[in-house]
Structure 1
Amino acid sequence: MADTLPFPDDLIELQQRLHEARAEHTALCRALPWSVEPLPGWPGTAHPHTGEVTGGREASPGYTPEQEAEEKRLWDLVRDLSIAVSTHPHWGTLAKDAGLVKARMELKQHPKAQPDAAGVAEAA
C-alpha cells in the first residue's frame, strides 16, 4: 500500500495500540470459560443415524475475580482507544464525504498501525 494518506504520528500510534488491545482482549476471551458466572453444562444431541454427538457444553466454573478484572480492563482500554481514534482532531481536517470513510479504512490498514509494527520499527 504505497499510496497511504498522511496521518499524524499520534493517530497512527493510537490505531496500532487499538489493534493490539483488541487482539489481546480477543485472545483472553477465547481462553476464558464460556460463562462469566458458574453455570451447569448440558448434553449434546446424538445424530439419529451416525450417533455423533454435537452441541452441548461442559459446566462453566465462571471467571475468577482476576479474570473478570482483566477482561474489564482490556475492554475499557479497547473502548477508550476506539474513542480516541474516532474523535482525533485529524478527522476534522477532512471533508465529510466518502473520502473520510476511505481515510478511516486506510488508517486501519496502514503499515505502521499494525500490531507488529512497533517491533519491526525497533528492530530496524
Structure 2
Amino acid sequence: MTDTSSFPDDLLQLQERLHRAHVEHRAYLAELPWSVEPIAGWARGERFSHRGDVPDSPGWSDVQKETVDRMRADIRELSIAVAGHPHWASVSREGLVDARMQLKKETRPVVPEDVTEAA
C-alpha cells in the first residue's frame, strides 16, 4: 500500500483540484435545465418516463453551454496532468493501479456527516 508521503506535493495538489473540479461540475449540471436544447415536456404515459411528468425545458443559455464546456476542458486537462505526471514512471507496473487508487483515496474530500443526524 502506498502512503501519501510517497506522492509529490504537486501531484497531490493536481488530484485534489481534479476532485474539486468534478464536484463543481456535477453541482453545476444539477442546477441546469434537463435538456441542453429547448424541448417540450410530457406527461407520464405519453412517453416512457421513470420520473413521472417531465416539464418543458427552456434549454441552456450560451453562457451555460460555455461554462459546461470550460468545466469539461478543465477536467480533461487536470486528468491529463495527473495521468501524465512523471511520478508514475517511478511506480512499478504491477503497483500502478494500487498507487493510483491510493492517490484518489488520499486526496478525496471528506464527505460531511448528514446534517439531519446532528439535529
Structure 2 length-normalised TM: 0.81
Tell me if structure 2 keeps the 8 A contact 1:45–1:54: no
Residue 49 of structure 1 corresponds to which residue in structure 2? none
Deviant stretches of 4+, over 6 Å: none
- Provide the aligned C-alpha RMSD in A: 2.1
CA drift of 1:20 comes to 0.3
Please state whether the residue corresponding to 2:93 is helix, strand or coil: coil
1:51-90 Cα offsets, whole Å, 9 max, x none, are xx95231111000111111111111101110111011110
1:5-53 Cα offsets, whole Å, 9 max, x none, are 410000000000000000000000010011111011111139xxxxxx9
Please state whether the residue corresponding to 2:33 is helix, strand or coil: coil
Structure 2: how far apart are the matches of 1:13 and 1:84?
A: 11
Matches within 5 A, 1:98-109: 99-109=95-105
Please state whether the residue corresponding to 1:42 is helix, strand or coil: coil
Q: Which one has a bigger Cα radius of gyration?
A: 1
Is 2:77 the partner of 1:73? no
| Residues 54/96 of structure 1: CA separation in 2 closer, same or farther (3 Å cut) | closer
Structure 1: how far apart are the matches of 2:83 and 2:64?
A: 28
Is 2:20 the partner of 1:20? yes
Tell me if structure 2 keeps the 8 A contact 1:33–1:62: yes
Is 2:108 the partner of 1:114? yes
The count of corresponding residues between Structure 1 and Structure 2 is 106
Tell me if structure 2 keeps the 8 A contact 1:17–1:115: no
Amino acid of the residue matched to residue 60 of structure 1? Answer: S
Structure 1 length-normalised TM: 0.78
CA drift of 1:109 comes to 1.1
The answer for unaligned runs of 5 or more in structure 2 is 111-119
